[in-house]
Amino acid sequence: MNEKKYCYRYVEGNNSGGLPIVILGERVIIRETAKTFWHCYDYPHMTLKQMQAFFQRKSGKTNIKRCLKGADRSSYHLTKEDALRAFVYRKRYQLERMALTMETAKLCLDGLQAGGYITEGWRPETVKPPVGSVYVAAEELGPVAASFSWGEW
């Protein structure tokens, strides 16, 4: 059984008490090339040869996933260290994007309210659309948006 090679992925979640937890997912690599590998759920009572024979059948191929080696944002990674590094990268990226989205929404709503197009509240009573198809809600970038590069393509 020790001939099996595993790949890992960390994901976040909550336990039954609501506390945040980091969960380690472990899968068996059944085929590997220089750039990619194929992995599946571990069947602990099967050897690697038996698993490969099982997944050779057409019905079992739906449980196999393909992954690129060394890709930070791919679904599974070869080592626990790479998986944790990718998890941290993914979560920091998500937090940056959420902060930018939150700042943009706040500046847009504040700009529409300051321009007199909407009133305050979750369901504003006064709603007047601005003239034109593009309305610049703020004259300056917010602190989060200023940290991004907004150059041309």
Give the pLDDT confidence of 41-68 residue by residue, as tens digits. Answer: 888 888 888 888 887 775 656 688 888 8
Q: Indicate if the pLDDT at residue 73 is higher than 80.
A: no
Q: Which of 2-16, 22-36, 46-60, 90-104 bottoms out in mean pLDDT, i.e. has the lowest?
A: 46-60
Q: Indicate if the pLDDT at residue 10 is higher than 90.
A: yes
Report whether 79 contacts 87 (CB < 8 A).
no
Cα separation, 129 vs 1, whole angstroms: 67
Q: Is the pTM of this model over 0.85?
A: no
Chain mean pLDDT for the chain: 87
Q: What spatial distance separates the first Cα and last Cα of the chain, rounded to whole Å?
A: 51
pLDDT of amino acid 150:
83
Say which residue the tokens 């080696």 belong to.
Answer: 69
pLDDT of amino acid 138:
92
Q: Which of 15-24, 34-43, 85-94, 116-125 bottoms out in mean pLDDT, i.e. has the lowest?
A: 116-125
> Which residue type does 124 have?
P
Q: Indicate if the pLDDT at residue 1 is higher than 50.
A: no
What separation in angstroms does the CA of 23 have from each of 7, 75, 79? 14, 14, 15
